[in-house]
Structure 1
Amino acid sequence: MLKKSSFDFLTGLAENNTKEWFDKHRDDYQATHDDFTLFNQDLIDAISKFDKEIAESDLQGKDCIPRLNRDLRFTKDKSPYKTYYYSIINKGGRKSGNAGYFIVLKPGECCIGAGEYQPEPKRLKKVRQEIEYNFEEWQKIAQDGKLLKAFPDGIIAQETLQKVPNGFDTDSPAKEFLKMKGFFVQRHYPDSFFRVRDNFNTIIESFKTCQKINEFVNSIEDETAK
């Protein structure tokens, strides 16, 4: 699992988000990055044993982790670094837009999850259409007992519309899902959870329960990728 020093580095960065501090702790940064990269490689290897899409993607741990530097072009907050690590393990790589498994390593707010966080508008529309056309299948996935045990909040979204979007039946049985702008599950754990080796199996077993969410969403042809 992960080292305490990795959490210590991120906590320190959150309290001192400057280039000067970062430069003084560059060795700590590299150690944290290496620690998280190895952790993700272990996840990829374990997920590949039950998820064929991941097994055939030839992913490496380093490919799943975005840079720590923040994009400052369109924000008033000029803090140079993210104060957390996250990874996206999916077919096609983290920039592909495919549904996948994710880990967020942020002291005090760590979590695991899976699904599609915030798809582009064209893809979002296609996912909604697929949910409406195949709602019985989607509902079975969403109400699966093992999924809800691993992720008690069920399938959620970062943003949800007040009304069913245009082009969909306002009385559709799937209307609550049609309002969503994303389709994922997540569960928060204390920092200490990620430092206990025995909990690795808990993460993998949790990921197994949401494989069908990823399969359902990834079965949809993404015209935006053409």
Structure 2
Amino acid sequence: MARDTYLFFLLILITVLMHYFTEDFVAFFKELAKNNHKDWFHENKKRYETSIKKPFEAFVGEMIREIQQLEPNLQIEPKDCVLRINRDIRFSKDKSPYNLHYTAFISSKGCKDKSIPGIFLRFSPEMVGIMGGCFGPSKEQLHNIRTAINKSPKTFRNLLEDKDFVQKFGEIRGETMKRIPKEWQEACEKEPLIANKQFYFVGEEAPGLISSSVLVEEMMTYWQTMRPVNEYLLKAIQ
């Protein structure tokens, strides 16, 4: 009986530990939306640490460990992936000091270099956003991506038309060139995405997933689905 009791409580403990976030994660940001000023935030600083910052870092740490099982060369810490809650208001008309979501960019360079393909996560009361691809490639990287696609348009197109990719992400997004240079005009006729200046894609889940016990499992499913496209883009820019 003692052994059965021990296993019962162990199972409860494991189940609890699988939940990185409580429902207060969503509640905190809903309240912040109505009180987006420093006084309220400072009054709720301990709550922020307990319900948002610490569990998010623990969650990102677990995501990194899961990815490392398939990509051992990924050497990054949660602190290098998690973006600050403070908004950059220097050039914004909206002077609200805090973001109404919490985000992380998990890649070999973390949030320091968003041109490196990885998985970008944004948790908010409205949704769980899951993004991948190249958000801000340099001029040289962009040229390399276009060159790679132009060499074999079908290879890239086959990745994008994979049924799992389409189901979770839909299609590649990004700004496009307003005027297509002569050197790329023929290539763009074969594959219009060559005109893109960004190559990213977005998936979305309901916010209830944040406090779910299958959060990491679901996020890793998204990571596995985006992996072939991310690897293609990474190889191209390198």
Query: The TM-score by the shorter chain falls in which range?
Result: 0.7 to 0.9
Gaps of 5+ in 1: none
- Does residue 102 of structure 1 match 2:142? no
**Residue 126 (structure 1) aligned with residue 144 (structure 2):** yes
Whole-angstrom distance in 1 between the partners of 2:36 and 2:108: 33
Preserved CA contact (<8 Å) 2:145 2:237: no
Identify the match of residue 198 of structure 2 among 175, 182, 192.
182
Q: Is the helix fraction higher in 1 or 2?
A: 2
Equivalent residues, number: 217
Structure 1 219/78 Cα, relative in aligned 2: closer, same or farther at 3 Å? same
Structure 2 match to 1:46:
66
| CA distance in structure 2 between the partners assigned to 1:14 and 1:91 by the alignment | 32
Structure 1 CA distance for aligned equivalents of residues 190 and 28 of structure 2? 44
CA RMSD of aligned residues (A): 2.0
Q: Show structure 2 runs of 5+ residues with no match.
A: 1-19
**1:33 corresponds to:** 53
Shift of 1:171: 5.4
Q: Distance in 2 between matches of 1:66 and 1:39?
A: 14
Q: Is the 8 A contact 1:57 1:92 kept in 2?
A: no
Q: What's the TM-score, normalizing by structure 2?
A: 0.82
Residue type matched to 2:213 in 1?
Answer: R
- The one of 66, 88, 91 aligned to 1:71: 88
By how many angstroms is 1:164 displaced? Answer: 3.8
- Please report how far the alpha carbon of residue 41 of structure 1 lies from its aligned counterpart in structure 2 after TM superposition: 1.0
1: CA distance, partners of 2:190 / 2:37: 47
- Note closer, same or farther for the CA distance 1:76–1:150 as it changes in structure 2 (3 Å cut): closer
CA distance in 2, matches of 1:127, 1:212: 15
CA displacement at 1:198 relative to structure 2: 2.4
The share of aligned pairs that are identical, in percent, is: 24
Deviations 1:103-122 (A, max 9, x none): 11121132112111232333
The equivalent residue for 1:84 is 101
Q: TM-score, normalised by structure 1?
A: 0.86
Q: Which has the larger radius of gyration?
A: 2
Distance 1:48 1:6 in 2: 27
In 2, distance between residues paired with 1:212 and 1:26? 40
Which one of 117, 124, 143 corresponds to residue 161 of structure 2? 143
Determine the C-alpha separation between the residues in 2 that align with 1:179 and 1:209. Answer: 24
